Amino acid sequence: MSSIVGFVSRVRTAFNPLEAKPLPNSEPVKFGVLGAAAIAPEALLAPAKRHPEAVVHAVAARDKERAEAFAQKHGITKAYGSYQELIDDPEIDAIYNPLPNGLHYEWTMKALAAGKHVLLEKPAANTAEETRKMFELAESKGLVLLEAVHYRFHPASHRVKAIIESDELGPVLSTTTSLTLPAGYFKPNDIRFDYSLGGGALMDMGSYTISTMRYFTGAKPTEILSVKQDLSNPQVDRRTVAKFALPGPITSTAICDLGVPWKFGLIPSMPDFNATIKCEKGDIQFTNYLLPSVYHSITVTTGSKSRVEKAYTFPDLGEPWWSTYRYQLEAFVNKVKGRPTHAWVTKEDSIENMEIIESVYAKTGLGSRPKSEYVPPSSV
């Protein structure tokens, strides 16, 4: 019963934003958003309204009218008809980059070159080399760059990691991390199915399934044991199932699918956003690891005993309705302000994730998504 009340309360709060009052003695971090992207309201606009030190100041779209309509709808002060104009706005401190994957590198490099911090959507870029270059530029300019791997900032993921590290269940033997959605969820013309824009299930959902495998095992694969891909067009995987060997006895399976065919062509499959971690003395079933603020459960089983845990807040941070994105924004703003953060995704972490994605694509012969043609000026 209490979990239903909690669910209703969290969802109600999600649709009725509690606006935070600005802090009197602190300048807010002013964000500019590149593109009127579908994910921007959930991943930045709503969390910023609930953060006392974050403001979304401007949005840019390729078409100025689209930017203006988006700005009006979301109460954003400025709208630009080009991404560069927004980046050049001296009032903006940080850029949120939710462009298609294949444009992450170019526009992050341009934003960093202009002296802006960047909150960058996942996956960081099309290649590990581009990811490295972005982080090197950020470091050389003393700027914050974060790949928005939002689940890493939520207390539920931390709780699962803490159980694994507590040794209650002994060493990890295997993991299965899944992210699947039914066919029809994404339209055929979605950016996720466009090779030239960095599309593919492994780039999209797969960036999380690889990331959670690495996070929960604390290890990097030593070998790709097998990969099976179903394609939506000759260069783009709709589904990828990859099996990995990790150090010691660990094996991991990462499953992602942008459109599971309906059963008998009639019944859509349920989304699968679950992680299973099998350990020597028991296992953990983490339900809905991607959007745990809506609902999640952490079921720990040893022998015939099992218990269910939930973690919506940290002891000293958060509210039950804080989404993964709100927790992520908390860390980003703290980092920009030079304060400690409760969690972070490092340069090395982002590069390693991209290396694994590329190595899976190499194994099947599909190959990495196209390298950006953008060449930064030599002065950068």
Q: Which residues bind ligand NDP (CB under 6 A)?
A: 35-39, 43, 61-62, 66, 98-101, 103, 121-122, 148, 150, 191, 197, 204
Least distance between ligand LJPVP2WV and beta carbon 201 (Å): 9
- 86: three-class secondary structure by DSSP: helix
> Which partner, ligand NDP, ligand LJPVP2WV, none, binds residue 61 by CB below 5 to 8 Å per kind?
ligand NDP
**Nearest CB to ligand LJPVP2WV, comparing residues 106 and 204:** 204
Among 93, 106, 147, 204, binds ligand LJPVP2WV (CB under 6 A): 204
* Joined tokens for residue 186: 């994404």
Which CB atom, from 99 or from 241, has the smaller least distance to ligand NDP? 99
Q: Which is nearer to ligand NDP, 35 or 259 (CB)?
A: 35
122 is catalytic: yes
List 253's β-bridge partners, or say none: 176, 243
Q: Are 176 and 275 contacting, i.e. CB atoms less than 8 angstroms apart?
A: yes
* Smallest gap from residue 99 Cβ to ligand NDP (A): 4
| Beta partners for residue 240, in sequence order | 229, 256
Least CB distance to ligand NDP at residue 240 (A) = 15
Given the complex with ligand NDP, which of 129 and 190 has the nearer CB atom?
190
Binding residues for ligand LJPVP2WV, total number by CB under 6 A = 2
Residue 148 structure tokens: 């928005």
In the set 49, 116, 122, 133, the catalytic residue is 122
Quote the CA–CA distance of 142 and 144 in Å, as a whole number: 7
Across the beta sheet with 78-80, the strand order is 78-80, 54-60, 29-34, 94-97, 117-120, 145-147
The interface partner of residue 37, options being ligand NDP, ligand LJPVP2WV, none and the CB cut-off 5 to 8 Å by kind, is: ligand NDP
Q: How far is the CB of 157 from ligand LJPVP2WV (least distance, A)?
A: 14
> Pattern 66-95, binding to ligand LJPVP2WV, x per CB under 6 A?
------------------------------
Continuous segment of H or E residues that includes residue 260: strand 251-260
Residues 6+ apart with CB under 8 A from 181: 205, 257, 258, 259, 260, 271
Q: What is the dihedral of CA 83, 89, 93, 99, to 10 degrees?
A: 0
Shortest Cβ 66–ligand NDP spacing (Å): 5
d(CA 200, CA 274): 20
Per-residue binder mask for ligand LJPVP2WV (CB under 6 A), 154-193, x = binder: ----------------------------------------
Least distance CB 205 / ligand LJPVP2WV (angstroms) = 6
The first and second tokens of residue 280, run together, are: 């020597």
Pick the closer one to ligand LJPVP2WV by CB: 209 or 253: 209
Contact between 205 and ligand LJPVP2WV (CB under 6 A)?
yes
The site partner of 36 among ligand NDP, ligand LJPVP2WV, none (C-beta below 5 to 8 Å per kind) is ligand NDP
DSSP state of 194: -
Q: In the complex with ligand NDP, which residue's Cβ is closer, 36 or 109?
A: 36
Confirm if 252 and 217 have CB atoms less than 8 A apart.
Answer: yes
Residue in the block written with tokens 């003395």: 281
CA distance 300 to 281: 11
Contact present, 205 and 256 (Cβ < 8 Å): yes
Three-class SS state of 22: coil
79: partner contacted, choices ligand NDP, ligand LJPVP2WV, none (Cβ within 5-8 A by kind): none
Q: Which does residue 205 touch among ligand NDP, ligand LJPVP2WV, none (CB within 5 to 8 A, set by kind)?
A: ligand LJPVP2WV
CB of 247 vs ligand NDP, minimal distance in Å: 29
Taking CA atoms, 265 is separated from 33, 184, 260, in Å, by: 39, 12, 11
User: Radius of gyration over alpha carbons of the chain, in Å?
Assistant: 21
Rounded CA-CA distance 317/333 in Å is 14
Contacting positions for ligand LJPVP2WV (CB under 6 A): 204-205
Which residues have a catalytic role annotated? 122
